[in-house]
């Protein structure tokens, strides 16, 4: 019933090109027409517009399963995808209902050919995807929404969007010490998943305060740079932490549970005892009294604040403490 017939290198009829100023032009039999004024563009501009349109098409095709200019055979008819969820047959645009049916057939059969296509396991809730055209979409409760309209994306468009987001995440994770989808568990046993930026979100939709999340990011980045994987807060089992390639062989303390984790190896005044080294470091710190009070509290936010004070940043520690009433 379905067969991909390959792509054409030419610009398909009825393709709509958007200029950098936001003006839309439709391609028709070698000419361009301004979609707003319905005026045909002078031929002297065709070469430049053709080059720009081809670059725009190439960007789309790199990140989407439905290829602009791609031809798809369904029930002995050949359909050409021209972008924006539109198909043509014999050069004529289909109706909206027919476009939807053809796209669903193409996506369904493409997924049968590739069982992994459309998997949402790599895109966590709260992730924000930015398209090449600058449009943003966010994922909530397993569904994609437009940031601009706050409305859900239809299922046929969500499949290529999911794939594009997965590709974007894979690129990010290959370069970042903190991975999209990485998990961190609080003392109360709530697991938060990293969704980019300062967004750590639980399965119930609860988000860590920005200042807490920023401090956690700093700790995880520092730990990752030392090739050590932070264990989950309040748990000795680090197997649930998705560190994606980081060394999990050492059961290290969590970022907020080891206020001097980055400096505890300094044994110059401790005779090789890391605990004594930590005590010496606290005593020599100008915020020693505050650090001791924070350590005595024992909650995750206070421990984070103590860690920041040890690093010499009182302003950042104040921000962490101010979030105490808002954090889990």
Query: 95-140: per-residue pLDDT in tens?
Result: 777 877 777 776 655 545 543 433 345 789 999 988 777 788 999 8
pLDDT band per the 50, 70, 90 thresholds, residue 67: confident
**Model pTM above 0.75:** no
For residue 304, the model assigns a pLDDT of: 77
Mean pLDDT (whole number) for 232-250: 33
Mean pLDDT (whole number) for 282-301: 73
Mean pLDDT of the chain: 74
3-state secondary structure of 139: strand
Higher-confidence residue of 6 and 244: namely: 6
* Rounded-to-integer distance, Cα 249 and Cα 255, Å: 17
Contact status, residue 258 vs residue 246, Cβ threshold 8 Å: no
3-state secondary structure of 5: strand
Tell me the domain boundaries of the chain: 2-113, 128-175, 183-322
Residues shown for the chain: 328
Where would I find the beta strands (DSSP E) of 186-246? 191-194, 200-202
> How many whole angstroms from its chain centre is CA 8?
31
For residue 317, the model assigns a pLDDT of: 66
20: number of Cβ within 10 Å: 6
* Rounded-to-integer distance, Cα 72 and Cα 81, Å: 8
Q: What percent of the chain has pLDDT over 70?
A: 68
* Rounded-to-integer distance, Cα 86 and Cα 80, Å: 9
- Strand order across the 136-140 sheet: 128-130, 136-140, 143-146
Residues 6 or more apart whose CB falls under 8 angstroms from that of 241 comprise 182, 183, 184, 185, 229, 230, 231, 232, 248
* Rounded-to-integer distance, Cα 171 and Cα 173, Å: 6
Contacts made by residues 306-314, CB under 8 angstroms, sequence distance 24+: 306/259, 307/215, 307/219, 307/255, 307/256, 307/258, 307/259, 307/260, 307/261, 308/215, 309/285, 310/259, 310/260, 310/263, 310/281, 310/282, 310/285, 311/262, 314/287
Among 159-168, 182-191, 239-248, the minimum mean pLDDT is found in 239-248
For residue 77, the model assigns a pLDDT of: 85
pLDDT of residue 79 exceeding 50, the answer is: yes
């Amino acid at each position: 019933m379905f067969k991909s017939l390959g792509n054409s290198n030419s610009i398909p009829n009825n393709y709509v090109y958007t200029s950098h100023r936001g003006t839309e032009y439709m391609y028709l039999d070698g000419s361009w027409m301004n979609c707003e004024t319905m005026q045909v563009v002078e031929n002297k501009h065709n070469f430049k517009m053709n080059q720009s349109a081809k670059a725009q098409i190439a960007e789309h095709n790199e990140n989407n399963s439905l290829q602009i200019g791609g031809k798809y055979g369904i029930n002995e008819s050949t359909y050409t995808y021209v972008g924006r969820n539109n198909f043509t047959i014999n050069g004529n645009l289909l109706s909206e209902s027919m476009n939807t049916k053809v796209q669903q057939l193409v996506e369904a059969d493409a997924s049968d050919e590739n069982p992994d296509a459309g998997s949402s396991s790599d895109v966590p809730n709260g992730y924000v995807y930015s398209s090449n055209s600058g449009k943003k979409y966010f994922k909530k409760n397993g569904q994609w929404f437009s940031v601009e309209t706050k409305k859900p994306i239809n299922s046929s468009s969500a499949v290529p969007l999911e794939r594009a987001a997965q590709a974007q995440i894979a690129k990010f994770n290959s370069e970042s010490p903190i991975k999209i989808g990485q998990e961190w568990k609080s003392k109360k046993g709530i697991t938060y998943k990293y969704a980019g930026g300062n967004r750590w979100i639980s399965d119930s939709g609860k988000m860590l305060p920005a200042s807490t999340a920023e401090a956690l990011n700093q700790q995880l980045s520092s730990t990752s740079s030392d090739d050590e994987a932070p264990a989950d807060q309040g748990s000795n089992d680090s197997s649930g932490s998705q560190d994606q390639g980081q060394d999990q062989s050492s059961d290290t303390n969590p970022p907020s549970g080891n206020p001097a984790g980055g400096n505890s190896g300094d044994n110059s005044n401790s005779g090789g005892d890391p605990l004594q080294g930590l005590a010496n470091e606290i005593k020599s710190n100008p915020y020693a009294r505050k650090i001791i009070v924070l350590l005595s509290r024992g909650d995750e936010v206070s421990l984070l604040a103590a860690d920041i004070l040890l690093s010499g940043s009182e302003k950042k520690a104040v921000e962490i403490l101010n979030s105490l009433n808002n954090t889990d």
